[in-house]
């Protein structure tokens, strides 16, 4: 071909594409729907009043020299978010059903009509059964204004909002048992410091897309990556070692590693002595700590002892510090102490633990776990010699005995000194930090006066408490206050245990002993009644049996999709009791589909909001209103304001008298709107967002001079301090602007006590139920066969393609895979059952069934099937979703209370329904 034949490049073509990459304006954004950790700063590009696309900002500065920056945080959901704004699943008008519930027949109504129906239903419920019959199950997409609006609205009514962590079960009970909080969280950039990363009960390549680069970069910086999982998980592909393990035997692996470390003399004794309860003295028969009340007249029940090797005597463990002030406690041995009642034979917790570890030789653990004994030894030695970081994705707590795995993992890290310094630790999820979101919720008027007064009274209360007991820490005082508020019924949330047990239908499964741990010696109901009867859940054990739910308000969640036990269980047990179901959502979720009224909510980019503030990213990230919401969609604060306005109007018209809720709190719905808006002062969310930022400058969690105008220019602030909330303060590290964030440094570096009974990382839990269950120390137990006697274990996991269920039915995301939910199963299992790839299978057990196409993979563990969660039930035939086979068992021990730190506060100690490891049968069915 000759040059002369070529033509000048077509300018028309060139210009056509150049014009596509044009816009009228740019706004800052993030996806503020509790995408966790989320906080990706995004720029949104608007043309002709429509968001045409979005792109990660990429403007983070380097935090710590030598550590990669956080750019360009984002993922495919975020990159395609704008497609959902005009997606076919979008709801833009108030709707009322005209057919049966779930029929999908709707009529458009006005906001006024919708609000009237809701207000009258609420008033009916309050008059019939009391405010506890109005319920809002928490969900993961609640966001800034859903949380604020629903919280204010339910506070005015006195209704029940279930605890978000109990509902979604991102709780880590084993962390809580050990640390007194479940949520130590290092910043994602800290992963880069690790020398050994154990990806364990997690799949970050799916669930931590914006941050996984830190693991791969750590690998290039010399770290080893080890993935421990039954399947050759998508997060195994960039590991150096992949360790296949029999499902739900991970505690045995961790304990065998602990045994190797103890036997080979690799224990970090200083760390163990300072940070843990392992040196404390314990009666080997009763498994109870030696206490002050046994040692001296009038002694403190919460005074514990150690054996000082230097003086050869029992000494009281200091309560105000972890440091031993010249003493050096023994971690091993048996001793005789002079107690009030005479000589007592005691030993150390470490000694008890060592005896327990005798059951976990690598050879025996190999038979339990399927992991080669030599591999166990190799891994143990690596942990003992390297900065070790366990990356789990909130997965453990979703298994029946996940708490035992967590306790064993933390023991492994304790023995090797692997927390409280860079590149180490376990993690949960945390929020807090953003003081303004709390202060604005509590303020009586705009302006700085209220927040200054709050700071002042908080400081006075803290100082008064510290004067009473100087051994306390600010974190302990904050947690104590939070627990006390909950016990008064004023914590704002209620563990969902009582809603589920009394009303949702879960009790049927829980009462099947063969689906629970055989260590339960009594029926489930006995334990439940004992827990309630002893007042362990005082103030939060609502709704009671007689408080039948009448109105259900779904905002920011999808209870039909999410509830363990299944949507079908709710439709059969709960729905018939409900006089009104109202869903506030951006789209037609499965719950919206089963509602009587659906209210249209403004999407991301259509309202201002803040992302979930967390130490995972240490940034407060902002979403601006780039475009107007479509048709009649409004932000949640405005939606609840309209409901409050109508509630006030109808309460006055109906002459509803002031009343008290079951906890004694007074309510007067004839002033609902006045209370909601603080007499008209809090209506505009722009003003409220500005207040939140200004208040946060005053409390010091973000820099001085913060304002809405300023964050609109820069998109985010970096947190300067942990702020006021107890969950924040319990991270126990002062953040710095030039360092990755690592929790628990004050414990490890300064000897600050932990918020547990013993004020140490606590491995011995002497609660009588735990002793009865032989779980007073970390151990391994086989998981009960919940669901029935079936050959497969179904596990789930957060999917790659959606944040909760929000994006699962988005066509763009569906086009990036097979467009349907799919069940991952092993190729040999499939062949045995005559199941071809992409053919339909029926998944069934004694709880329920669903039908789904199989995805046949050589990477799946034989005998295990994986159903990544989040898909809408209406993406399955007959709208039967995978939750229908999940009995949603709870572990009875998690109802325990009345012991040390085992007491509810919001998002913390409580039972949560598990779903992974459920037993199912699989069979081929016709069709796709």
Could you say whether residue 713 binds other proteins (CB under 8 A)?
A: no
Could you say whether residue 217 binds other proteins (CB under 8 A)?
A: yes
Dist. CA 168–CA 557, nearest whole Å: 10
- Closer CB to other proteins, 223 or 765, in the complex: 223
DSSP 205-260: HHH-TTTTHHHHHHHHTT-EEEEEESS--TTTTT-SEEEE--TT-HHHHHHHHHHH
CB of 622 to other proteins, least distance (A): 14
Dist. CA 662–CA 130, nearest whole Å: 8
Could you say whether residue 244 binds other proteins (CB under 8 A)?
A: yes
CB of 78 to other proteins, least distance (A): 8
616: Cβ contacts below 8 Å, ≥ 6 apart? 36, 37, 39, 185, 186, 187, 188, 211, 427, 429, 430
Could you say whether residue 926 binds other proteins (CB under 8 A)?
A: no
| Contact residue for other proteins among 523, 535, 658, 862 (CB under 8 A) | 862
Three-class SS state of 371: coil
Could you say whether residue 241 binds other proteins (CB under 8 A)?
A: yes
Could you say whether residue 832 binds other proteins (CB under 8 A)?
A: no
- Piece in contact with other proteins (CB under 8 A), picked from 11-19, 348-356, 656-664, 683-691: 11-19
Instruction: For residue 778, give both structure tokens.
Output: 């970390």
Could you say whether residue 833 binds other proteins (CB under 8 A)?
A: no
Taking a C-beta distance cutoff of 8 angstroms, is the pair 191, 218 a contact?
Answer: yes
Of 510, 518, 618, 500, the C-alpha closest to 563 is 500
Could you say whether residue 738 binds other proteins (CB under 8 A)?
A: no
For residue 718, how many C-alpha atoms fall within 13 Å in the half-sphere facing its CB? 15
Could you say whether residue 875 binds other proteins (CB under 8 A)?
A: yes
CB of 216 to other proteins, least distance (A): 5
| Contact residue for other proteins among 597, 773, 855, 920 (CB under 8 A) | 855
Taking a C-beta distance cutoff of 8 angstroms, is the pair 348, 331 a contact?
Answer: yes
- Closer CB to other proteins, 401 or 800, in the complex: 800
Could you say whether residue 374 binds other proteins (CB under 8 A)?
A: yes
| Contact residue for other proteins among 448, 630, 700, 877 (CB under 8 A) | 877
Taking a C-beta distance cutoff of 8 angstroms, is the pair 438, 455 a contact?
Answer: no
Of 603, 500, 479, the C-alpha closest to 86 is 603
| Contact residue for other proteins among 387, 550, 800, 891 (CB under 8 A) | 800
| Contact residue for other proteins among 129, 209, 337, 466 (CB under 8 A) | 209
Instruction: For residue 121, give both structure tokens.
Output: 């239903």
| Contact residue for other proteins among 857, 898, 899, 924 (CB under 8 A) | 857
CB of 559 to other proteins, least distance (A): 18
Could you say whether residue 107 binds other proteins (CB under 8 A)?
A: no
SS (H, E, C) 105-166: CEEECCHHHHHHHHHHHHHHHHHHHCHHHEEECCCCCCHHHHHHHHHHHHHHHCCEEECHHH
- Closer CB to other proteins, 78 or 735, in the complex: 78
Could you say whether residue 576 binds other proteins (CB under 8 A)?
A: no
CB of 379 to other proteins, least distance (A): 11
| Contact residue for other proteins among 49, 104, 447, 658 (CB under 8 A) | 104
Site mask for other proteins (CB under 8 A), range 402-441, x = bound:
----------------------------------------
Reading across the β-sheet that carries 281-282, which strands appear in turn? 281-282, 342-348, 334-339
Dist. CA 295–CA 342, nearest whole Å: 9
Of 349, 360, 471, the C-alpha closest to 766 is 349
Q: Cβ-count burial of 128 within 10 angstroms (0-12 exposed, 13-18 middle, 19+ buried)?
A: exposed
CB of 50 to other proteins, least distance (A): 12
User: In the range 354-373, which residues lie near other proteins by CB under 8 A?
Assistant: 370, 372
**Cis peptide leading into residue 543 (ω within 30°):** yes
- Piece in contact with other proteins (CB under 8 A), picked from 241-249, 489-497, 523-531, 634-642: 241-249
CB of 851 to other proteins, least distance (A): 9
Could you say whether residue 874 binds other proteins (CB under 8 A)?
A: yes
| Contact residue for other proteins among 36, 93, 106, 524 (CB under 8 A) | 106
Could you say whether residue 347 binds other proteins (CB under 8 A)?
A: no
- Closer CB to other proteins, 12 or 341, in the complex: 12
Three-class SS state of 865: strand
Of 401, 706, 714, 400, the C-alpha closest to 564 is 400
What crossing angle do the helices spanning 373-385 and 362-369 adopt, rounded to 10°? 110
- Closer CB to other proteins, 16 or 345, in the complex: 16
Give strand pairing partners of 553: 582
Could you say whether residue 817 binds other proteins (CB under 8 A)?
A: yes
Could you say whether residue 381 binds other proteins (CB under 8 A)?
A: no
| Contact residue for other proteins among 43, 483, 564, 919 (CB under 8 A) | 43
DSSP conformation class of 366: H
Dist. CA 764–CA 760, nearest whole Å: 11
- Closer CB to other proteins, 586 or 672, in the complex: 586
User: In the range 47-86, which residues lie near other proteins by CB under 8 A?
Assistant: 53-59, 62, 66-69, 71-76, 78-80, 82-83
CB of 88 to other proteins, least distance (A): 4
Could you say whether residue 826 binds other proteins (CB under 8 A)?
A: yes
């Amino acid at each position: 071909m000759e040059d002369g034949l070529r033509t000048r490049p077509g300018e028309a073509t060139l210009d056509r594409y150049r014009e596509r990459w044009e816009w009228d304006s740019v706004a800052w954004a993030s996806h503020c729907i509790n995408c966790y950790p989320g906080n990706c700063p995004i720029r949104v590009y608007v043309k002709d009043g429509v968001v045409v696309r979005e792109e990660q900002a990429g403007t983070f500065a380097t935090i710590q020299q030598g550590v990669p920056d956080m750019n360009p945080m984002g993922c495919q959901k975020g990159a395609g978010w704008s497609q959902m704004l005009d997606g076919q699943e979008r709801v833009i008008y108030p709707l009322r059903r005209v057919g049966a519930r779930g029929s999908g027949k709707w009529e458009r109504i006005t906001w006024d009509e919708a609000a009237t129906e809701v207000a009258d239903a609420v008033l009916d419920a309050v008059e019939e059964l009391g405010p506890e019959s109005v319920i809002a199950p928490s969900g993961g997409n609640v966001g800034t204004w859903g949380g604020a609006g629903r919280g204010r609205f339910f506070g005015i009514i006195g209704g029940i909002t279930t605890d978000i962590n109990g509902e979604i079960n991102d709780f880590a009970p084993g962390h809580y048992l050990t640390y007194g909080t479940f949520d130590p969280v290092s910043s994602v950039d800290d992963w880069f410091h690790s020398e050994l990363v154990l990806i364990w009960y997690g799949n970050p390549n799916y669930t931590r897309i914006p941050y996984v680069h830190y693991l791969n970069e750590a690998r290039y910086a010399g770290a080893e990556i080890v993935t421990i999982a039954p399947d050759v998980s998508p997060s195994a592909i960039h590991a150096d070692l992949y360790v296949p393990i029999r499902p739900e035997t991970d505690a045995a692996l961790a304990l065998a590693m602990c045994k190797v470390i103890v036997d080979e003399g690799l224990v970090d004794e200083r760390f163990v002595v300072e940070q843990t309860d392992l040196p404390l003295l314990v009666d080997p028969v009763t498994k109870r700590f030696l206490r002050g009340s046994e040692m001296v007249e009038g002694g403190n029940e919460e005074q514990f002892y150690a054996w000082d090797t230097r003086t050869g005597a029992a000494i009281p463990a200091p309560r105000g510090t972890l440091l031993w002030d010249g003493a050096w406690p023994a971690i091993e041995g048996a001793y005789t102490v002079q107690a009030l009642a005479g000589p007592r034979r005691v030993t150390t917790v470490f000694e008890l633990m060592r005896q327990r570890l005798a059951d976990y030789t690598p050879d025996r653990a190999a038979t339990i776990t399927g992991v080669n004994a030599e591999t166990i030894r190799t891994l143990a030695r690596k942990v003992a010699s390297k900065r070790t970081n366990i990356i789990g994705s909130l997965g453990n707590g979703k298994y029946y005995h996940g708490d035992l795995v967590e306790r064993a993992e933390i023991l492994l890290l304790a023995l090797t000194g692997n927390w409280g310094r860079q590149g180490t630790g376990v993690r949960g999820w945390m929020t807090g930090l953003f003081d303004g979101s709390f202060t604005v919720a509590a303020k009586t008027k705009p302006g700085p006066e209220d927040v200054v007064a709050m700071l002042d009274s908080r400081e006075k209360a803290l100082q008064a408490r510290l004067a009473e007991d100087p051994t306390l820490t600010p974190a302990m005082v904050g947690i104590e206050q939070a627990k006390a508020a909950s016990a008064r019924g004023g914590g704002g949330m209620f563990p969902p245990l009582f809603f589920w047990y009394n009303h949702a239908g879960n009790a049927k499964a829980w009462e099947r002993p063969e689906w629970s741990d055989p260590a339960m010696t009594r029926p489930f109901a006995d334990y439940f009644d004992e827990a309630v009867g002893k007042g362990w859940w005082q103030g939060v054990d609502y709704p009671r049996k007689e408080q039948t739910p009448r109105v259900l308000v779904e905002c920011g969640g999808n209870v039909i999709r999410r509830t363990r036990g299944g949507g079908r269980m709710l439709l059969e047990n709960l729905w018939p009791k409900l006089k009104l179901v109202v869903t506030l959502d951006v789209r037609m979720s499965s719950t919206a589909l089963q509602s009587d009224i659906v209210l249209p909510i403004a999407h991301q980019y259509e309202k201002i909001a803040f992302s979930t503030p967390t130490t995972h990213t240490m940034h407060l990230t902002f979403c601006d209103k780039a475009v107007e919401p479509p048709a009649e969609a409004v932000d949640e604060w405005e939606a609840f304001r309209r409901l409050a306005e109508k509630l006030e109007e109808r309460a006055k018209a109906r002459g509803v008298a002031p009343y008290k809720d079951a906890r004694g709190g007074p309510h007067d719905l004839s002033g609902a709107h006045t209370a909601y808006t603080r007499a008209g002062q809090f209506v505009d969310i722009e003003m409220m967002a500005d207040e939140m930022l200004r208040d946060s400058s005053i409390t010091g969690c973000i820099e001085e001079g913060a304002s809405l105008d300023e964050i609109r220019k820069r998109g985010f602030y970096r947190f300067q301090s942990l702020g006021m909330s107890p969950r924040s303060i319990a991270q126990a590290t002062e953040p710095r602007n030039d360092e990755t964030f690592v929790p628990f440094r004050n414990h490890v570096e300064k000897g600050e006590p932990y918020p547990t009974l013993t004020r140490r990382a606590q491995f011995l839990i002497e609660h009588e139920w735990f002793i009865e269950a032989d779980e007073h120390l970390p151990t391994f137990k086989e998981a009960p066969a919940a669901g029935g006697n079936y050959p497969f274990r179904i596990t789930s996991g957060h999917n790659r393609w959606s944040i909760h269920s929000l994006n699962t039915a988005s066509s763009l995301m569906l086009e990036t895979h097979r467009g349907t939910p799919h069940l991952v199963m092993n190729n040999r299992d499939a062949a045995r059952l005559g199941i071809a790839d992409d053919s339909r299978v029926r998944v069934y057990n004694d709880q329920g069934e669903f039908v789904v196409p199989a995805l046949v993979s050589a990477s799946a563990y034989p005998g295990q099937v994986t159903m990544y969660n989040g898909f809408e039930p209406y993406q399955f035939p007959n709208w039967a979703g995978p939750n229908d086979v999940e009995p949603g068992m709870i572990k009875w021990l998690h109802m325990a209370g009345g012991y040390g730190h085992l007491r509810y506060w919001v998002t913390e100690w409580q039972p949560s329904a598990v779903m992974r490891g459920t037993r199912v049968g699989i069979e081929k069915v016709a069709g796709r």
